[in-house]
Structure 1
């Protein structure tokens, strides 16, 4: 856990950005924009899959990816830090679910290795940044 003082923040740009700026809507943070772009890219890719693949893997993958940014926004709209943290945790879990379905899509030859690894890396980046926000906000309890 990080200390309560702004000058003792870790050298992490996402945590520092939030702490130094004071409250800003989550939609203004890069992590939200990246999660949204990732979801849009996944939606467009999976929309071209055959019906059965779209129905079985594509829908789950698109829903999981959409849930990342949606849960971030829902948590940001909560009136208590504790409620907000719960939804950030849901967002992080949705990122993990997204990663799972990306691996399933690769295993079923719906994504080639390069596509899958790129999307997984982007998903993991979003997840790590959500974790940093959670860690910082826990210091505010």
Structure 2
């Protein structure tokens, strides 16, 4: 008989990394002008915050396909936040290269971990 150990949401590395991105995004947003917040900052912050929110919602779902669906949403939000909004902020000189590099480094690692998390969720459901 297999024994599985329940990991609380805050114990998930993917969730911890998503929260780390949210913290960085909030720090960026807090330093924007009103115009920058309205035009680009709000969408960047929403996309970044939805990464962790979708992981949390998916993790609370019962059926593995529902879980995976929300993890896919999270992956999409990750791409939107960093590959679109953060790159635009870099191009428009709203953030510096060091800040972008920090975001990109977390993005690259989290993207791999999210893909693995999705695969493991699927495989675990198939092995039951």
Pairing of 1:19-34 with structure 2 (within 5 A): 22-34=5-17
- Structure 1 segments of 4+ aligned residues over 2 angstroms from their partners: 20-23
Per the normalisation by structure 2, the TM-score is 0.88
Asked if the contact 1:106/1:112 (under 8 Å) is kept, the reply is yes
In structure 1, runs of 5+ residues without a counterpart are: 1-5, 7-19
Q: Which moved more, 1:122-131 or 1:75-84?
A: 122-131
Counterpart residue number, 1:90: 73
Pairing of 1:35-54 with structure 2 (within 5 A): 35-54=18-37
Q: 1:121 aligns with which of 99, 105, 116?
A: 105
Counterpart residue number, 1:73: 56
Per the normalisation by structure 1, the TM-score is 0.81
In structure 2, runs of 5+ residues without a counterpart are: none
Q: 2:44 aligns with which of 61, 79, 82?
A: 61
Larger RCO: 1 or 2 (CA < 8 Å, sep 6+):
1
| Count of residues in correspondence between the two structures | 123
Deviation of the 1:74 alpha carbon:
0.2
